Amino acid sequence: MLNLFGKKNDSDDGFQEPGPFGPYQLEELINTGGMANLWLATNPEGRTVALRLLLPQLKNDATSRKRFVAGCEVLQRVHQHECIIHYVEHGLLQGQHFLVMEYLEGLNLKQAMVEEDLDLGALIGNILIDSAEALEHVHDCGFMHLDFKPENILVTRNGNVRLLDFDLALPRPETPGKLKKNPGTPAYMAPEQLQGEAVDHRADIFAYGVMAYEVLTNQKPFQGQTSSEILRRQIKRGTEFKAPRDINPNIPTSLEKVILKALEPDPLRRHGHISMMVHELKQSLYL
């Protein structure tokens, strides 16, 4: 069974069994991540929901607990958009931090790229625009996502898109600022973020460029086993770097231009606001 956020992880640690959880009924564990378990559940009215529980071994970890709760609060602030996962409630029940969201059957974009039964090519324009509009909404609400990547984009079989996972999101600063902590996935992090320099919303724009490049070419633009190797390839772009159309000539020239601008190592050379990028994407993909 294919489920929200991925396939069931069979290595359940056994701490939680299906059954009542406050007013909810836990039905099936559908994914285990680094910080939380995700359950298929039913609410008191019998409707299916996705219920996320902070891993029990992290309940005394102040950083993880704070990050989980902060992610819930950001989602509560930004979820009123058709391309962002819908928030229901969050809180503390039975000593466990939880988040309840809408449930949609689908795959994350990373899985969709290798799923033979899903015609990703027919959906790609919709995915690129909808995920950019979701990120635009996050920025307009005053936040940076800071973990934008294919694993955090849900795609249903009819092409609906939902942006997920706001655990690393932070308020969008008026001017670039240094992050106290710098978690994330190096392959999608902007050069300024990898170097510990000041960042703003344009780090998300860079991450979008990496995602778009990857989904269109089936490979990452800057490959490496370590953060320093990835950073080197981001900044010193010699013959190792290939433009998207060098790999996939079916990509429209105008779309390649948008992606390359998003991938500029200097944030001042990227789009100043993602709304500008969304406009260019629509011009390219609606032709």
| CB within 8 Å of 181: residues ≥ 6 apart | none
Q: Considering the candidates 61, 130, 140, 147, report the single residue annotated as catalytic.
A: 147
> For the residues of the chain, what is the DSSP string, one character each?
-EETTEEPPS---SS--SEEETTEEEEEEEEE-SSEEEEEEE-TTS-EEEEEEE-GGGTT-HHHHHHHHHHHHHHHHH--STTBPPEEEEEEETTEEEEEEE----EEHHHHTT-TTS-HHHHHHHHHHHHHHHHHHHHHTTEE-S--SGGGEEE-TT--EEE---TT-EEPPSS-B--SS--S-GGGS-HHHHTT--B-THHHHHHHHHHHHHHHHSS-SS--SSHHHHHHHHHS-STT---HHHH-TTS-HHHHHHHHHHT-SSGGGS-SSHHHHHHHHHHHH--
Task: Please state, in angstroms and rounded to a whole number, the distance separating the CA atoms of residues 201 and 275.
Answer: 12
Judge whether 147 counts as a catalytic residue.
yes
- In 3D space, the residue among 108, 110, 109, 162 whose CA is nearest the CA of residue 138 turns out to be 162
Tokens (6 digits) for 198: 């000041």
Active site amino acids? 147
